[in-house]
Amino acid sequence: MTAAPDVRAAPATRARTRRPRSPAKRREAFTALLFLAPFLVIYLLFLVYPLFRGVWISLHDWDLMDDEIRYFIGFLNYQDLWNDPIFWRATRNTLYFVALTVPSMTVLSLLLALAVSGGGRIRAICRSIFFLSSVFSVTVVTLIWAMVFAVDRGLIAPIFEAVGAEPINFLGSPTWAMPSIAIATLWWGVGLPMALFLAALGAIPRELYEAAELDHASRWMTFWRITLPSIRHTLMLVLVLQIVGQFQVFGQAQLMTNGGPSGMTRTLVLYIYDTAFRDWLVGYAAAIALALFAMMLVFSMLQLWLGRRGDDA
């Protein structure tokens, strides 16, 4: 009687008889690694290492002015963070700013992209004008909008005088200070997402629109059934970039209001800056920075998860 073959030995046999990589394959892998090496070094040096270094610093009582004062205190900084009312106010201010800017920036940039997409000299000039503000530095942007919102000599002040109303101190009002910073940010940052939407709109096949015209589809139906599904990946990218960018708002809040009035525009990054370079509490500032990183990570992952659900639907 013939014995049955041992099927369990087959994988091991295949593993032993697997051919080694050819010299050409090894050279190809080495070349790929060689080209990736500069990016990997920069990524590890400027992104991965600072992250772990920040975690290590957050576990210490570290005085920036005296580097010898460095005591390991474990999670005490995070415990203080949980009971810090200034941190929670800065968190609310940051979330309020994100809620003001991210939806409006996304919608406005998409509308502008739809308005100036296509050929023609006028549309090309409009694209350049709308993108021009994005090349300005934050200092230039804040100086421009500080002059716009100035109470006595601002560009908006004559409008109130013309209607006989009392001028509003936009940057000095607890109600209007954060929306004013959001308006300046909207004017400054709308160019980049508009350019991304323009690239996505240009990649949509024209045959889809021609078929919609033959079916007598309305503009709204064409946008909802063709344009929006075709640019959904760019839309997700813009939303994630805006969430990450607006969570890190700093320059506008510092230069326009310096966190005032009454701390109503003190954002998390501004609080990190003040804690590290005014109070010299580097460990506590690192804990705040890691809390901000966790918030951005959660919101970004949630946005990506919602985007994947939309693709699967």
Does residue 299 lie in a domain region?
yes
Local structure of residue 260 (DSSP, 8 states): -
| Residue 245 structure tokens | 């960018």
- 288 within domain boundaries: yes
Looking at residue 231, the DSSP 8-state letter turns out to be: T
Place of tokens 């939309």: 310
Count of Cβ atoms closer than 10 Å to residue 71 Cβ: 11
CB 177 within 8 A of CB 261: yes
On the question of pLDDT at 164 being above 90, the answer is no
Q: pLDDT, tens digit, for every residue of 62-103? A: 877 776 668 888 899 999 999 999 999 999 999 999 999 999
Tokens matching residue 263: 């701390």
pLDDT at 1 (0 to 100): 46
pLDDT band at residue 17 under the 50/70/90 scheme: low
**Which residue segment(s) compose the domain that 174 sits in?**
76-312
Select from 154, 136, 144 the least CA-distant residue to 190. Answer: 136
β-strands 60-62, 70-72 pairing: antiparallel
Residue 114 lies in a domain: yes
**HSE-up of 72 (CA within 13 Å, CB side)?**
3
Question: Does residue 179 fall inside a structural domain?
Answer: yes
The answer as to whether 172 is a domain residue is yes
pLDDT given at position 216? 83
Spatial distance between the Cα atoms of 39 and 132, rounded to a whole number of angstroms: 30
Question: What's the whole-number mean pLDDT along residues 169-186?
Answer: 93
User: Which value, in Å, is the radius of gyration of the alpha carbons in the chain?
Assistant: 27
The structural domain count of the chain equals: 1
- pLDDT at position 285 over 60: yes
DSSP assigned state of 120: -
pLDDT mean across residues, the chain: 86
Q: Is the pLDDT of residue 274 over 50?
A: yes
Does some domain include residue 59?
no
Q: Is residue 188 part of a domain?
A: yes
Q: Residues 94-119: pLDDT tens digits?
A: 999 999 999 999 999 999 999 988 77
CATH code at 114? 1.10.3720.10
pLDDT band at 156 (very low <50, low <70, confident <90, very high): confident
User: Which pLDDT value is given to residue 29?
Assistant: 82
Summarised one tens digit per residue, pLDDT across range 244-265 is 999 999 999 999 999 989 899 9
